[in-house]
Amino acid sequence: MKRRARARHAGRSFIPFCVPFTNDREIREVSEAIRSGWLTTGPKVALFEERVRRLVGARHAVALNSCTAALHLGLAAAGVGPGDEVITTPYTFAATGEAILYLGARPVFADIDPETLNIDPSAVARAITRRTKAIVPVHIAGLSCDLPSLLSIAGKRRIPVIEDAAHALGTELAGRPIGSWSDITCFSFYATKNLTCGEGGMVMTEDRRIADRVRRLSLHGLSRDAWRRYSRAGRWRYDVLEMGYKYNMTDVAAAIGLVQLSKFRTMQAVRRRLARRYSALLAGCDAFDLPREEGDTVHAWHLYVLRLRAGVLRMGRDALIEALRRRGIGTSMHFLPLHLHSLYRRTFGYRRGSFPHTERESSRAISLPLYPGLDARAQDRVIEAIVDLVRRHRR
Ligand SMILES: Cc1ncc(COP(=O)(O)O)c(C=O)c1O
């Protein structure tokens, strides 16, 4: 960057990629949870489960301490075990593949539709074998996958679908919220997510047996959780029914989640407005492909992912991220192809070229700041910086 331009940007504050939308209300609710004396899984978790369940129209909800835990237990409850194959997308975060590996199963990747970045149902159909025990689609950025096609492919072979909906609280397809579509849906309430508990996750299911199993596995396989042992109505005796894990959500985390839920509709409306404003202001810029809202979906706008068009600029995606950082703008990148990480290359022999759509789209993706606290002036700065960089670095 030229000296004068650097000086112009130096004095301006940094616009982070993501900031949670929390205020005094979350602080009050957390204080109240602590004062109540009940810190771990208790009444606030039960209320949070009930409210998320109603929001997405699912029959059962089990709160956990992460979406990774939700995926792990969802897959376990679906019967996935050693030697099984689970089909998922390589365009995803580490957690999706890891949950499959925890169970000794093999992640089998199916490439994406380059338009939507979501798993391509026809690639899923081609990847099915006799060993396929589950399909795990991911709703990238908050745009729904083609669930009708995926459920039809899976249904014909009685293969359970376990949705990785870490980005998709608030997503709808054909008027139905994600969380009410398939056998099991897993949400994330991680710090950067549209609704946060700091850390947290939830399994939604229509099947009571799956809900009971996930709940049991989330607390050492015990027959009773703490609330059912230590509250006035509880009984102290318990039995270890099977080997479980320590994945339960705390009341302190649920206290944050309950406040976030009460403003979720407003937060989503702001995200939508900001996303549409990005699209309107960047519509005339020929350097990028912009994210689309599909006709019959409600996009949750967890991420706003631009894709750099080949051949327009003299700078690549990584240089663009760095140039924006130097101008005080935080961005991110979702996702590096999972199959190209060392673990997957080493264990399964994947290499460059295995999933061309994923590799190409990943190499040109950049996620812009998008959160309810981002005001129009900050967003204008992001746009101005991008437009200016495009002007300066045009071929
Ligand atoms: C697609 C996807 N799946 C799963 C996860 C894991 O969520 P958690 O951090 O709640 O375990 C993430 C987190 O960023 C994610 O992006």
287 by DSSP, 3-state: which?
coil
Mean pLDDT on 290-302: 94
| CATH code matching the domain that covers 264-331+369-393, chosen among 3.90.1150.10, 3.40.50.1110, 3.40.190.10, 3.40.50.300 | 3.90.1150.10
Report the candidate in 76, 321, 10, 85 with the shortest Cα–Cα distance to residue 210: 76
Q: What pLDDT, on a 0 to 100 scale, did the predictor assign at position 10?
A: 54
CA dist 311 and 48 (Å) reads 49
CA dist 184 and 71 (Å) reads 9
Task: Give the largest CA-CA distance in the chain.
Answer: 73
CA of 40 to the centre of ligand 1 (A): 22
Length of the chain as a residue count: 395
Structural domain boundaries of the chain? 24-262, 264-331+369-393
Find where tokens 């051949």 sit: 311
CA of 314 to the centre of ligand 1 (A): 34
Q: What pLDDT, on a 0 to 100 scale, did the predictor assign at position 227?
A: 63
User: Which atom number of ligand 1 is nearest to the Cα of residue 189?
Assistant: 10
- CA separation (Å) from 54 to 61, 144, 204? 9, 19, 11
User: Is the pLDDT confidence value at 7 over 90?
Assistant: no
User: Is the pLDDT confidence value at 302 over 60?
Assistant: yes
Range 24-262 has CATH code 3.40.228.10: no
Q: What pLDDT, on a 0 to 100 scale, did the predictor assign at position 217?
A: 97
Q: What pLDDT, on a 0 to 100 scale, did the predictor assign at position 2?
A: 52
User: Is the pLDDT confidence value at 144 over 80?
Assistant: yes
Q: What pLDDT, on a 0 to 100 scale, did the predictor assign at position 226?
A: 63
User: Which atom number of ligand 1 is nearest to the Cα of residue 190?
Assistant: 10
Q: Residues 97, 100, 103, 105: is their CA dihedral positive or negative?
A: negative
Give the pLDDT confidence of 25-53 residue by residue, as tens digits. 999 999 999 999 999 999 999 999 999 99
The model carries a pTM of 0.95
Tokens of 148: 């009708």
Beta strands in 230-355 (DSSP E): 288-289, 297-298, 304-308
Residue 4 pLDDT class (50, 70, 90 cuts): low
Which listed residue (2, 156, 193, 246) is catalytic? Answer: 193
CA dist 126 and 90 (Å) reads 15
Q: What pLDDT, on a 0 to 100 scale, did the predictor assign at position 84?
A: 98
CA of 353 to the centre of ligand 1 (A): 25
CA of 395 to the centre of ligand 1 (A): 37
CA dist 358 and 350 (Å) reads 13
201 lines ligand 1 (CB under 6 A): yes
Find where tokens 């204080």 sit: 31
| Bridge-based pairing state of the strands 304-308 and 288-289 | antiparallel
Q: DSSP labels for 102-160?
A: HTT-EEEE-PBPTTT-SBPHHHHHHH--TTEEEEE-B-GGGPPP-HHHHHHHHHHTT--
- Told to judge if 193 belongs to the known catalytic residues of this protein, a careful annotator would answer yes
Give the pLDDT confidence of 219-240 residue by residue, as tens digits. 999 987 666 667 777 777 888 9
Give the number of other CB atoms < 10 A from CB of residue 246: 9
Give the pLDDT confidence of 314-353 residue by residue, as tens digits. 999 999 999 999 999 999 999 999 999 999 999 999 999 9
Q: What pLDDT, on a 0 to 100 scale, did the predictor assign at position 229?
A: 67
68 lines ligand 1 (CB under 6 A): yes
Helix ranges (DSSP H) in 218-310: 227-230, 251-262, 264-282
Containing 76, the helix (H) or strand (E) segment is helix 67-77
Tokens of 35: 């004062």
Q: What is the mean pLDDT of the chain?
A: 95
Q: Considering the chain, what percentage of its residues have pLDDT values greater than 70? A: 96
User: Is the pLDDT confidence value at 374 over 80?
Assistant: yes
95 lines ligand 1 (CB under 6 A): yes
What angle is formed at CA 339 by the lines to CA 336 and CA 340, rounded to 5 degrees? 60
- CA separation (Å) from 271 to 169, 204, 305, 329, 335? 13, 24, 13, 18, 21
What angle is formed at CA 342 by the lines to CA 341 and CA 344, rounded to 5 degrees? 70
CA dist 96 and 163 (Å) reads 10
Contacts of 23 by beta carbon, 8 Å cutoff, 6+ apart: none
Mean pLDDT on 160-170: 98
Least confident of 78-87, 271-280, 294-303: 294-303
Q: What pLDDT, on a 0 to 100 scale, did the predictor assign at position 343?
A: 98
Residue 295 pLDDT class (50, 70, 90 cuts): confident
